[in-house]
Amino acid sequence: MSAPSQLSKDPHNDYFDFGAARQVPETHTWEGLYEHPLVDGGVGAAEDAVPVVDLRDPHAAEAVARASEQWGTFLLEGHGIPSELLARVEARIASVFALPASEKMRAARQDGQSHGYGLPPIASYFPKTTWSEGYTLSPANLRAELRKIWPDAGGDYRHFCDVMEEFHRQMLAVVDKLTVLFLAALGVASVEAGRKIVETMSETVTMHINWYPKCPDPKRTLGLAIHTDSGFFTFLMQSHVSGLQLFRHEPDRWVGVPPGALIVNIGDLFQILTNGRFRSTYHRAVVNRESTRVSVAYHLGPPADAKVAPLREAVGGGKPAYRTVTWREYFLVRKEAFTTGGSALQMVSLSPGDHDDDGDGADQISEISS
Ligand SMILES: O=C(O)CCC(=O)C(=O)O
């Protein structure tokens, strides 16, 4: 099952011809983008260097724990996905977005649907339109989706589907390895529970492809506005062009993520599952004048109606910091948070005296893993 749809009506899903744009129109102009300084998050950037986790490192679980607690994001190395495959993914994605509008719009996301061509579902909550095109797919519906664009199922269709399926297969192996590390980092001893979580998550995979065209005036607009991911965690495959920025406090600043790396972002439901120990990350994508940029967000989370509550191992002798939620319910909370300017995580948090009527953490892991 894929992530629950959070769309009602998406007024941002009209076609905009980026190739013809000579300036950024009012609809795509964002204010206040440079209130905070931008710092480099590259390897030599001292405390601003985005943490790196190497899956081949015998101490990788500790590195995952540290990065997830302190940043909610890390660059993944030693994942084994060939760079040649990533280059082919990027090239095939470029071939989709290069198609004429009339062909892409055959797959346009319809109201209430979570899949299809268009901006990511979250864009319906943004006050302005972003400088990007997108396509949301799940591995299960990939071939049926792409037939809308390529009804004759010719060579371009086959090459695109084959490469995305190969990417998905390779990603699942990485998901497996990383989940084992997450569980080790959290002190969850049951390998069986871990395997079941991976199996469950692999059924919910959603891929959102972001295509950021060149922009004549990049300082006035955004490729993707600030947000956290809502699920458990997201892998972000990105091209060798800068664009991703993480928001960090004390002092408030944007940290530019090195291009080309495979990124892992912790999502809100993982923050809940880990009782706030691992933190979701606010991030955004900027665009530039010289190059197009591609990213693929590979989102993982629980089935839409599975109950998620802080794990017993994470709560320890303390109290759960969050109430039990399903992903479907959390989307509604997030929608309200976008509307009111509040924090969705804050809205599902428990104060010391509150009681979670939906049970304790011990029952919830078995629900997620069954
Ligand atoms: O393109 C990027 O670097 C960010 C993409 C992203 O955050 C998303 O798709 O959720």
Specify the residue with its C-alpha closest to ligand 1, atom 10. Answer: 297
Q: How many CB atoms lie within 10 A of CB 69?
A: 15
Give the rounded distance of the alpha carbon of 262 from its chain centre.
12
How does residue 18 score in pLDDT terms, banded at 50, 70 and 90?
A: very high
Domains and CATH numbers, the chain: 11-304 (2.60.120.330)
Catalytic residues: 293
Q: Report the percent of the chain where pLDDT is more than 90.
A: 80
How does residue 367 score in pLDDT terms, banded at 50, 70 and 90?
A: very low
Contact 285, 80 (CB under 8 A): no
How does residue 368 score in pLDDT terms, banded at 50, 70 and 90?
A: very low
What's the pLDDT score for residue 203? 81
Contact 238, 35 (CB under 8 A): no
- List the beta bridge partners of residue 262: 76, 237
Contact 212, 294 (CB under 8 A): yes
User: With a threshold of 0.85, does the pTM exceed it?
Assistant: yes
pLDDT at 170 over 60: yes
pLDDT at 356 over 60: yes
Contact 165, 67 (CB under 8 A): no
Q: Report the percent of the chain where pLDDT is more than 70.
A: 92
CA of 366 to the centre of ligand 1 (A): 31
Q: In this predicted structure, which of 54-58, 293-297, 351-355 has the lowest mean pLDDT?
A: 351-355
DSSP structure string for 320-368: -SB--B-HHHHHHHHHHHHHHT--HHHHTB--TT---TT--HHHHHHHH
Ligand 1 neighbourhood includes 295 CB (under 6 angstroms): yes
Task: Sheet with 52-54: list strands edge to edge.
Answer: 52-54, 73-77, 262-266, 233-238, 293-300, 206-212, 133-137, 116-117
Q: How far apart are the C-alpha atoms of 137 and 120, rounded to whole Å?
A: 11
pLDDT at 323 over 80: yes
pLDDT at 328 over 70: yes
CA of 296 to the centre of ligand 1 (A): 7
What's the pLDDT score for residue 247? 98
How does residue 364 score in pLDDT terms, banded at 50, 70 and 90?
A: low
Q: How far apart are the C-alpha atoms of 300 and 205, rounded to whole Å?
A: 5
**Which atom of ligand 1 is the closest one to the Cα of 265?**
7
Mean pLDDT over all residues of the chain? Answer: 91
Look at residues 138, 130, 135 and name the one whose alpha carbon lies nearest to residue 103.
135
Residues 6+ apart with CB under 8 A from 351: none
Residue among 135, 222, 244, 255 to mutate when testing ligand 1 (max atoms within 8 A of CB): 244
Ligand 1 neighbourhood includes 300 CB (under 6 angstroms): no
Mean pLDDT within 172-188? 92
What's the pLDDT score for residue 359? 55
pLDDT at 88 over 80: yes
pLDDT at 347 over 50: yes
